[in-house]
Structure 1
Amino acid sequence: MERIKELSIKIFWLIFRILWVTLNNLYCIPIYVLSILFLTPVYLTSPQMFFKIEETFFTWMLAMVSCWCYTAGYQIAESGDSLDECLDKTILYMPNHQSTADVPFLMNIFTSRFGYSGRVMWLMDKVFKFTNFGVVSWIHDDFFIQAGKETRDQSLIELRSHLKRVFVQKTRNCLVLFPEGGFLRKRKAVSQQFAKKKDLPLLEHVTVPRTGALDVIMDEIGPRGKTANSSHISKIVDVTIAYPEGKPLDLQNIISGYRPPCVTHVHYRIFDADSVPTNSEELFKWMVKLYEEKEKMLEEFYKTGEFPYKMYTPTGSPPKMLKLCPHQYALGHVLFILGNVLLYMAYSSLFK
């Protein structure tokens, strides 16, 4: 009888969360889109003011996604170099990529530094453009990469142009790049075949990083980049996401809250961009070494259950729970719901 009761509660919670997240999308995304459209005249008179307003709206949108993780009990423990000490710099974030939960967790990290997430530019697969959140990213001017060998070169050309037009002109101060170019489970076999062919280390917990996009980024907006009068990238943050027991959460878990609450470790290693090789071949070697070290950290974590935060950062901080603000989430929901109420009132008075 007790088991039936527990199962009933779990099913009720699952259904409630799915309905809540669905409703959350319905009252947040349309208001974001309509608000930006309504404010388009501001762009004609003051583009920079328009960009700042859009960044504020985008910050609140990311907070809504972060709220899903928070209410499901999926926590983050940060370790390694101090991210907060370099937030005033222009940063390139390079996380390993395991599942669809990686992006929401990064949103958690950015959201906890209030006002920061609006100035992030994301590089993501073009498929994401056609999801419910895709229109938000499109308006925010994130960059969508077309996967596949046939379109890779063209994507890199478009990325170069996008960095000039968006990252520089909109004065973004952080860029997110997933060097592996796809999820671990999807790329692992191909990565290991490539490693054998090129006599590279065989990796189990990460894949051999791709450096085409990184080459373009460093060439265009790196310390010695071609684009003039820009805020060049000065720090590179290597981000290691380590899920408990090596079993990644995914977006379905975050939406449904089906998997029990757990702690995911996120480890930072911060490098001066000036110290990174500029030659393409040397840059690839540097990245392979970085991912070989990432592999060893993850292997140790999966064996012991404790993240080896001092393995490559002897002065790094031990794991510390990321603090999120429930009041920020509550205020966000109130603002978006109020926006819907005002929109309904305006619509009713217009067509009375």
Structure 2
Amino acid sequence: MSRSTTSRNDEEESLLAPVMDFRKLMAMIITFYWFIMTVFIVPAACVSTCILVCPIMIFSMKYFNLIEHTLCNMVNEHWVASGQYTGLTVEDMKYFNLIEHTLCNMVNEHWVASGQYTGLTVEEYGDDITTVADKRALFLANHLGLVDHYCLMTAFQNKPSVAGKYMWVIFNIWKSTPLGIMWGAHGNFFINGGASKRAGVLQQFRDHLINNYWKFDYGWVVMYPEGSRLFLIKNSEKQFAEKNGIEPFKHCAHPRIGAAHSVLSVCGPSEKSLTKARVGGNNPPMEYIIDCTLGYPNGNVPGLGEAMLGEWHYSNVAIHYSIHKVKPEWSNEEVLKEWMYKQYEKKDKLLEDYYRTGKFPGQPRQISYSIFRNVLVQIFWITLFYAHYSIWIRPFGLYLSSFIY
């Protein structure tokens, strides 16, 4: 290469440097915005609204569930863009549930909006889960990274009623954070690991389902059966396979059965009547299991920081679904374990083919999310937070401070 060519390239790089520095600065500013919104503003607005609407439970759980599910869906959309009154029946709780579900729906939209900012695009393959969006289902996904949450919430946002009425099973490391307080207000269940605590935690989960699943009109129960992100459990997967004399999976891990079995042992169909749940009298049963396989191009799973700062070169994520009708015999833990191991064996093969070819079997379906909706969701949360702050949070804080100073 000639000296003049080298000099010209150096000049071009020096001219581009300020542009790249500006883009980096803008990415950091926008990332800070999403962080503040997701960790503080949205949880504060969400929990404050729940506090104010809790009295509705006394009059109607139906309307409470409707409102709460809608708001939860809006939280889900933000993520794409970035409690109990035991003497009441589900019918009595309708007004409370209306508000709570509405709030949950708006939370979902916030997450979808933040995902859109990172450049995330989602393609769906396999069965169309829209057909069971308004059904009761157990949603099982492989876990590769923290960005998985954004991918799933993006996929949920255009499925009627899913985002507002889902219940997540979440590792309890998040429980004491602002996000954890918000998730707890919605009714998500926090689970902790460890063989010594397994029996007690699973019993708590079953009690949680019995007391809340039908009363608060939840639809899908969402969980990652592997227990953690794949890169964190690869060694334990090898040890588990060696201990049990089976081949370890390469692209996923053998699922832990306890939480899924707890759901089906409570919410699954009874052997006596497929229209009634195993527990809860005449409550409708969980009808479907949705096996979800997440795949990132070339197996490159981005860190959350990389994605938010725009350092994510392969942001087109693929999701494959397989829908299965729940069978009463899956309430038997051994039968369920055998079935789930077979599903994860298929999942491992699906991921191997995906990493080799760049696609799952079948025709892809692109998930879209409008920029107008993104902006609308941000305005909603900022306005809601400001209203709470102005109307009662700030006056209440000043009132309390008058006793201190």
The aligned runs of 1:197-216 (5 Å cut-off) are 197-216=243-262
Amino acid across the alignment from 2:42: C
Query: What is the aligned-residue RMSD (CA, Å)?
Result: 2.1
Closer, same or farther in 2 for the Cα pair 1:197/1:261, shift >3 Å?
A: closer
Rounded Cα–Cα distance in structure 2 between residues aligned with 1:326 and 1:11: 22
Question: 1:247 — aligned with what?
Answer: 300
Structure 2: gaps (5+ residues): 1-13, 62-92, 271-277, 400-405
Name the structure 1 match of 2:24: 11
CA separation in 1, counterparts of 2:104 and 2:256? Answer: 29
Corresponding residue to 2:284 among 231, 243, 254: 231
CA distance in 2, matches of 1:283, 1:259: 38
Deviating above 4 A after TM superposition, structure 1's stretches of 4 or more consecutive aligned residues are: 347-352
Greater C-alpha Rg: 2
Distance 1:46 1:289, change over 3 A: same
Post-superposition offset of 1:255: 3.1
1:61-140 correspondence runs (5 A): 61-113=107-159, 115-140=161-186
Q: Comparing 104-113 with 290-299, which one deviates more in the overlay? A: 104-113
Query: How high is the TM-score relative to the length of structure 1?
Result: 0.91
Describe how 1:168-317 pairs up with structure 2 within 5 A: 168-224=214-270, 225-260=278-313, 262-274=315-327, 277-307=330-360, 309=361, 317=362
Contact 2:97 2:217 (8 Å CA) reproduced: no
How many percent identity over aligned positions?
25
Q: Distance in 1 between matches of 2:190 and 2:132?
A: 27
State the SS of the aligned residue for 2:173.
helix
Structure 1: runs of 5+ lacking an equivalent: 310-316
Cα pair distance change 1:204/1:339, threshold 3 Å: same
In structure 2, C-alpha distance between the alignment counterparts of 1:201 and 1:146, rounded to whole Å: 27
Task: Choose the corresponding residue for 2:204, options 140, 158, 170.
Answer: 158
* Residue of structure 2 equivalent to 1:28: 42
Tell me which moved more, 84-93 or 138-147. Answer: 84-93
2:60 equivalent to 1:46: yes
1:72 touches 1:261 (CA, 8 Å); kept in 2?
Answer: no
What letter is aligned with 2:322?
A: R
Q: Distance in 2 between matches of 1:121 and 1:319?
A: 27
Match of 1:314 in 2: none
Bigger RCO (CA 8 Å, 6+ sep) = 1
Q: CA 1:133/1:73 → structure 2, altered by over 3 Å: closer, same or farther?
A: same
Q: Is the 8 A contact 2:290 2:321 kept in 1?
A: yes
CA distance in 1, matches of 2:294, 2:268: 25
* TM-score, normalising length: structure 2: 0.80
Partner residue in 2 for 1:346: 391
2:379 maps to what in 1?
334
1:80/1:267 contact within 8 Å kept? yes
Contact 2:134 2:162 in 1 (8 A): no
Give the distance between the partners of 1:283 and 1:155, measured in 2 at CA. 19
Take 1:270 and 1:92, find their aligned partners in 2: how far apart are those partners?
A: 10
CA distance in 2, matches of 1:125, 1:340: 27
Find the aligned partners of 2:367 and 2:262 in 1 and give their Cα distance: 32
